[in-house]
Amino acid sequence: MRVALAQLEIEGGHVKANRQRAEDAVETAADRGADVVALPEIFNVGYFAFDTYQRHAESLSGPTLSRMSDLAAEHGVGILAGSIVEDLAATDSETPAEEGLANTSVFFDRDGHRRAVYRKHHLFGYESAEADLLVPGESLGLAEFEGTTIGMTTCYDLRFPELYRDIAEAGATVVFVPSAWPYPRVEHWQVLPRARAIENQSFVVTVNGAGSFEDATLLGRSTVYDPWGTPLASTGDEPDLVVADVDTDQVNRVREEFPAWHDRRR
């Protein structure tokens, strides 16, 4: 499976320009033979543009995700639509709350069909308005894509290893992590996903944004880690698109060669 990480420049509150950059990235990734294109966290609004969340919140059928669905079908690629600010009240009855906003990721298949919805479980509270503005999700993000079970998490979730073990035990061999990870926590951004890959013996794919907000600068460094924790492809801190081939059969080979799961005690 060829994955493309679209490390987009994101401008706070500039939805039209941000969405256009995402559309261009999907087209470029498709031209480069990608099977799945992953976008960053809240790529259309900008994670740190908290004062615009309410104004730009959408339903699952809103303009951003509808456009991503159309692009998936147009280019014949799977799209992990990073995340958006979802207006739960405007969506359908399957939402975990009757009202409020959520940090929501959606996976579309090559036909543009919605295959999974994931609402960020762990909301960042440290000097961030996210925990005050949004409500957490409850369900695992799992999507079946051409014989591979894909897991979905978001940014701060990386600090909670039990979520990744639950995803691995549910059968996921590739876990995507759309993020808006800022400076100065470079070491955390590199160590945590690598640890999640090693301890679960699965691929972990992080896709971060690029660009500066009033009080934060995203550090980029989107990376694909294999089940040994080895980086297969990575970016710097500028806008970029990186493509990597993920051999999902490697997960079974690694788990057979080094069967650490069999040694667990509960």
pLDDT in tens, 42-65: 999 999 999 999 999 999 999 999
Max Cα distance, the chain (Å):
51
* CA pair distance 95, 137, nearest whole angstrom: 9
Question: Is the whole-model pTM more than 0.85?
Answer: yes
For the chain, the straight-line distance linking the first and the last C-alpha, in angstroms and rounded, comes to 34
pLDDT band for position 262 (cuts 50, 70, 90):
confident
Residue 127 confidence (pLDDT) above 80: no
Predicted local distance difference test score (pLDDT) of residue 94: 54
Give the Cα separation of 138 and 154 in Å (integer).
13
Residue 112 pLDDT > 80: yes
How far are the Cα atoms of 58, 125, 158, 213, 249 from residue 65, in angstroms, in the given order?
9, 27, 24, 24, 31
CB 226 within 8 Å of CB 200: no
Catalytic residues, by residue number, are 41, 120, 155
* pLDDT (0 to 100) of residue 9: 97
Residue 20 has pLDDT above 90, yes or no: yes
Q: How confident is the model at residue 3 (pLDDT cuts 50, 70, 90)?
A: very high
Across the chain, mean pLDDT equals: 95
Nearest to 224 by CA among 175, 184, 187: 175
pLDDT at 98: 64
pLDDT tens column, 245-256: 999 999 999 999
Per-residue pLDDT at 134 exceeds 80: yes
Alpha-carbon dihedral sign for residues 161, 166, 170, 176: negative
Which residue reads 């490697």 in tokens? 250
Please say if the pLDDT value at position 95 is more than 50.
Answer: no
Pick the CATH number of 2-263 from 3.60.20.10, 3.40.50.300, 3.40.640.10, 3.60.110.10: 3.60.110.10
Which tens digit of pLDDT belongs to each residue from 167-222? 999 999 999 999 999 999 999 999 999 999 999 999 999 999 999 888 899 999 99
Among 120, 116, 82, CA closest to 101: 120
